Amino acid sequence: MQFLVIARDGTDDDAVERRLQVRPSHLESIAPLVEEGTVLVGGAMLSASGDMIGSMLLVDFPDRAALDAWLEADPYVTGGVWKEIEVKPFRTAVGAWQPAG
């Protein structure tokens, strides 16, 4: 089941620095999910000045419970980077990267 995840970072004075400190752990932990096709696309949302202020991911998990379990353990959650997470069921319609099937 596909989901759109919109995760917003905190807005406190240390938010950008916190993200930068946790980012290597987040990228390392998410790499296997990208390789296995669970994370279809993801990246940072940017402010008008180009600072990272959150993330967008399109993911394919068996169900919402599996997605929630991953989110609870992700370094951006455990490290206090993502402060507000919105999850919406999603169905891919088009895209050059779209998985077959």
Ranges of each domain in the chain: 2-90
Q: Select from 1.20.140.160, 1.10.760.10, 3.30.70.1060, 3.40.50.300 the CATH code of 2-90.
A: 3.30.70.1060
What are the DSSP calls for the chain, one per residue?
Answer: -EEEEEEEEP-STTHHHHHHHHHHHHHHHHHHHHHTTSEEEEEEEE-TTS-EEEEEEEEE-SSHHHHHHHHHHSHHHHTT-EEEEEEEEE-----TTPPP-
Spatial separation of the C-alpha atoms in residues 24 and 81, rounded to whole Å:
13
The pLDDT score that the predictor gives to residue 96 is 73
Query: Residue 93's pLDDT is what?
Result: 87
Residue 101 has pLDDT above 60, yes or no: no
Q: What angle do CA 61, 68, 99 make, to 5 degrees?
A: 20
pTM over cut 0.75: yes
Closest CA to 6 of 71, 95, 73: 71
> 7-43 pLDDT, tens per residue?
999 999 999 999 999 999 999 999 999 999 999 999 9
Per-residue pLDDT of 56-89, as tens digits, reads: 999 999 999 999 999 999 999 999 999 999 999 9
